[in-house]
Amino acid sequence: MTGFAAATGAMDPFRWSWDIRSVNGKGLDVRLRVPDWIDGLEAAIRPLVLARAHRGNVTLSLRVSRDDAVAAITLNTVQMKATVQSLLAIEAEAMEQGLSLAPSRASDIAMMRGVLEQGTSQDDPAPLRAALVAELPTLLDAFDEMRQSEGTAMHGVLMGQLDTVASLTQEAATLAEARKEEVAATLRDNLARVLENTDGADPDRVAQELALLAVKADVTEEIDRLHTHVDAARTLLGEGGAIGRKLDFLMQEFNREANTLCSKAQNADLTRVGLALKALIDQMREQVQNVE
C-alpha cells in the first residue's frame, strides 16, 4: 500500500529527520537507511517496522546531525602519519629526479582526505538510540494513517469493480442459457451431416463424440466459479487485515475462468462479455497490487 510520513526531532546536541515511504510490491522488502555509528539502532527499529508493514517495498531513512560540529572535529593520527610518510617518499623521489618541490604546510596535510574527521557519534550512543526508538512509533502511526486512507479509497474501487464483474457474469449466464438451443441444433445438424456422408460409421460413436463437444462448449462451470470468486473477494475485503496476497491469487483464478469462457464462447455476444471481463479483471489485478 502506498504511504509516506516524515518527522523531525532533537536531543542536545543532536538533531534528526525521519521519512518512511512505501510502494506496491508482491512481497515485503524493508530497507533501513540509518547511521551505522549508532550501535544497535537498526536491530531495534526493524521489528517495529515489520510489525506495521506486511507487503510492499518500504524504505525508512534517518539523517542525524550535531549542533556542535566544530567541537566534534578530531585528528586521525594513523591517517596523518601515513600521509606524512607518503609526502616524504614523494619529496625524496623528486630530489632524486632533480625536482624542487615547495615545502608542505600543516594546513596542506590537514586538508588531505581522512586526516581530520568530523565526528558524528558520542561516547555512549545509547541515550540517542533510546530517543530515536521511542519516537519511531509516532512516525509509524502517521505512516499507517495515510495507508489506511489509501486503503479506504481502494476498498470502494474494488467493491465497485466486483459489482461489475458480478453483473457481467450474470449477463454471460443469460447468454449461455439462450444459446443452448442454438448449440443443440448445430450439433444435431452436424450429426445428420456426418451420418449422411460417412458409410459404415457407428451412429452411437458419432453421437458420443458430438456429446463430448457439447460438454466442452458448456460454460456453466466457469460462470459458477466466477460467481464464487466474486463472493470470496467480497468476503476478503470485509475481513480487512493483510489480504493482498490472497486477493492476488484470487485475481489469477478470475483471469483463468474469463479466459476459458472466451475460448468456449462460440458466440459473438458471449465473447464480447468474456473480453469485457478480462479487461476488468486486469484492472483489478493492478489495483490489488496496492493492497497489503
3-state secondary structure 99-110: CCCCCCCHHHHH
Q: Give residue 79's pLDDT.
A: 87
At position 80, the amino acid (one-letter code) is M
* Beta-ladder partners of 59: 21, 31
Q: Give residue 98's pLDDT.
A: 80
Q: How far apart are CA 201 and CA 183, in angstroms?
A: 23
Q: How far apart are CA 189 and CA 87, in angstroms?
A: 101
Q: How far apart are CA 270 and CA 118, in angstroms?
A: 72
Residues 6+ apart with CB under 8 A from 28: 50, 53, 54, 55, 56, 58
Q: Give residue 264's pLDDT.
A: 81
pTM of the full structure = 0.60
Q: Of 142, 116, 134, 155, which Cα lies nearest the Cα of 241?
A: 155
Q: Give residue 110's pLDDT.
A: 80
Here the cell at position 213 is 463437444
**Residue 25 φ/ψ, nearest 5 degrees:** -165, 155
Q: Give residue 238's pLDDT.
A: 85
How long, in residues, is the chain?
292
Q: Give residue 42's pLDDT.
A: 92
Q: Give residue 121's pLDDT.
A: 47
Cell 629526479 belongs to: 97
Strand bridging mode 14-23 / 56-66 = antiparallel
Mean pLDDT per 10-residue section of the chain, whose length is 292 residues: 87 90 84 90 93 88 78 76 87 82 78 70 76 94 88 87 92 82 66 64 60 64 90 86 84 91 83 92 85 77
**Residue 17 φ/ψ, nearest 5 degrees:** -140, 135
Tens digit of each residue's pLDDT (9 = 90 or more) over 60-69: 999 998 876 5
Q: Give residue 130's pLDDT.
A: 93
